[in-house]
Copies of this chain bind each other. A is one copy, B any other.
């Protein structure tokens, strides 16, 4: 039952980690977050044809879940400003991909709801009326109570539900443990380590996945990982999370996501290629959709400004502004950031 994950065969280095974790690669679930996290860089204005190409590629690649967007509250966010995938209604999902033949098994559909930004009592309808399979509840630790109420509601409506702990690098170990405890008692199918600031090193990701796994895996739940690429560690952190026991892995096409972006979906597919997952459809997507999107001026991906906010464990907003302004005075940017690395505060 215990199977070494090491690509180097004997797995001697990893054996000691693996005694207490589930580690069957068949349990891996890849989620494509291109539209949801990528939408943060273009206010969720995607062409329907683009959405269908992502859907088609995910189906052909064997990606398990495709996240279409947020279900934000239209009383808080203006539909004049934001594209429809900021709100991701059941109707818009159906109208865009409902009749679209992907020529095989389609990915399951997920949406994300932010605590405090979703009118869930009115906007989340019973699963039987919805094309959505999974609803991911994104929260900071200080709103865990409300997050758990949303999790319960979503579960009662019949959906799969996860809880995604954002900006995890910003909290102390006791705070994180307490949040994990709440999630382990809840009806989530899994809980995510979310490195919103791209601040964590692989060693820290492994330790956090272990910390999540201690309570979650014995409760029959999965650990997930959502990485950002500020320090060019998003892919490495994702596969190191896998090695430490995570099974829900987020990627996005060509890494499209806020700021420095996410783990490249094609890197993840390449890592598993030949077994359940297939790389080629994601390569086509990079060529035909993602590079053209960048050429049209949509901005994401690693640069030195994002490196600095990751290094200093800060929200990327100052780096997003610097990138927009083509400001490359990195010393000045660094001077304005706190100089002491504070990822995972207590440790």
Q: Give A346's nearest chain B residue, CB to CB.
A: B9
Does A243 count as interface, using CB distance less than 8 angstroms? yes
Closest chain-B Cβ to A222's Cβ sits at a distance in Å of: 20
Measured CA separation A329–B340 after assembly (Å): 43
- Contact present for B307 and A270 (CB under 8 Å): yes
Most B CB within 10 A of own CB, among A14, A16, A330: A330
- Contact present for B283 and A204 (CB under 8 Å): no
Stretch in A97-105, A110-118, A231-239 touching the partner: A231-239
* Number of copies of this chain that the complex holds: 2
What is the interface size of chain A, counting residues whose CB is below 8 A from a CB of the partner? 62
- Contact present for A243 and B203 (CB under 8 Å): yes
Closest chain-B Cβ to A272's Cβ sits at a distance in Å of: 10
A271 CB contacts on chain B under 8 angstroms: 201
Residues of chain A at the chain B interface (Cβ within 8 Å): 5-10, 12-14, 16-17, 201-204, 206-207, 210, 229, 231-237, 239-240, 243-244, 254, 264, 266-267, 270-271, 273-274, 279-280, 283-284, 286-287, 291, 302, 304, 307-308, 311, 328-331, 334, 339-341, 343-344, 346-347
Supply 5 A–B pairs (Cβ within 8 Å), ascending by A: A13-B203, A231-B235, A236-B240, A273-B341, A302-B302
Besides A7-B344, A273-B341, 7 other A-B contacts (C-beta < 8 A): A203-B243, A236-B240, A264-B307, A274-B340, A279-B311, A283-B308, A287-B330
